[in-house]
Structure 1
Amino acid sequence: MTAAEDAERPVPLKDMSAANASATLLERLADKLGAQASAAAVYGEPVVRDGVTVIPVARVGFGFGGGAGREVGPAKTGEGGGGGGGAEARPLGFIEIRDGIATYKPIRDPWADVVIPLAALLLGTAAPKAFRAIARLQRR
């Protein structure tokens, strides 16, 4: 039996321990989210037009957490936790193939184009004043 067939096979809850239930839940989440977390999920499929191919590039990641349970008391009643997970896909750029030459073109963050020069300007005007104030304090 393949892993995909095993994931599709339902497991009766009464036959599962809390730890087994958590592990099964996490495996199913990983299969579902892992199949969805891709550059195609961010951009779509590569595009070919007029002899130019554009291939999307993205950073994709996912993480999971889980829990377990225990049996309590003489009646062996159960207490337990569950699990969860998440995925992130962030576009980074694209590869353009034109006339047999591939070129990577990053997608720039517009805030970086504003914040970095603004911070440099602020630092450039504030730093000399701060150095003069420190020098005056040291002379006293």
Structure 2
Amino acid sequence: MENPATAATPAQSLLERLGQQLSTTATAQAVYGTPVERDGITVIPVARARYGFGGGGGGGTEAGEAAGSGLGAGAGVSLTPVGYIELREGRSRFRPIRSSVVPLVAVSGAIAWLLLRSVPRLLNNRKDS
């Protein structure tokens, strides 16, 4: 007979199944894409993978609560391209993909600085009018 303290609850069972499902998708193929070969050069895409899942369950067994139970779970996967591996003439080289956010932030900062610098002049011109 199974000990009730160690018996898997429906929530635990669901989380185990969800974890098993995620583990089958967390393969090297998800991070290192299918290699592509052209003109003697092989390119292997590289991505950063993040996985997460959680869940829980409960029941209305306390006084004043409706009878019944609830169960819920969720999972998420995020794959972000970070670069590629280039294979050429027996040598390999990792080529990162540069993010375009840094130049955008720098340009936005420069524009904000120029606008703020012109505010006193605009206020002085307004007073003179």
**TM class, shorter-length:** 0.5 to 0.7
Q: What is the CA distance between 1:26 and its match in structure 2?
A: 1.5
Partner of 1:56: 45
The one of 41, 65, 70 aligned to 1:80: 70
- Is residue 112 from structure 1 mapped to residue 116 from structure 2 by the alignment? no
Tell me, in whole angstroms, the C-alpha distance in 1 between the residues paired with 2:37 and 2:103: 33
- The normalised TM-score by structure 2 is 0.63
Tell me, in whole angstroms, the C-alpha distance in 2 between the residues paired with 1:72 and 1:56: 52
Uncovered stretches (5+) of structure 1, i.e. residues with no partner: 1-15, 133-140
Partner of 1:46: 35
- The normalised TM-score by structure 1 is 0.59
Partner of 2:22: 33
Tell me: CA distance 1:54–1:103, structure 2 relative to 1, closer, same or farther (3 Å).
Answer: same
Greater CA drift, 90-99 or 63-72: 63-72
Partner of 1:13: none
Greater CA drift, 121-130 or 79-88: 121-130
Uncovered stretches (5+) of structure 2, i.e. residues with no partner: 1-6, 122-129
Using the aligned pairs only, state the percent identity: 40
Q: What is the CA distance between 1:96 and its match in structure 2?
A: 0.6
Tell me, in whole angstroms, the C-alpha distance in 2 between the residues paired with 1:90 and 1:37: 14
Tell me, in whole angstroms, the C-alpha distance in 2 between the residues paired with 1:121 and 1:84: 42
Tell me: CA distance 1:72–1:116, structure 2 relative to 1, closer, same or farther (3 Å).
Answer: closer
> Do 2:33 and 2:46's aligned partners in 1 also have CA atoms closer than 8 Å?
no
Higher strand share: 2
Tell me, in whole angstroms, the C-alpha distance in 2 between the residues paired with 1:33 and 1:98: 34
What's the C-alpha RMSD, in Å, of the aligned pairs?
3.4
> Do 2:32 and 2:45's aligned partners in 1 also have CA atoms closer than 8 Å?
yes
Higher helix share: 1
**How many corresponding residue pairs?**
113
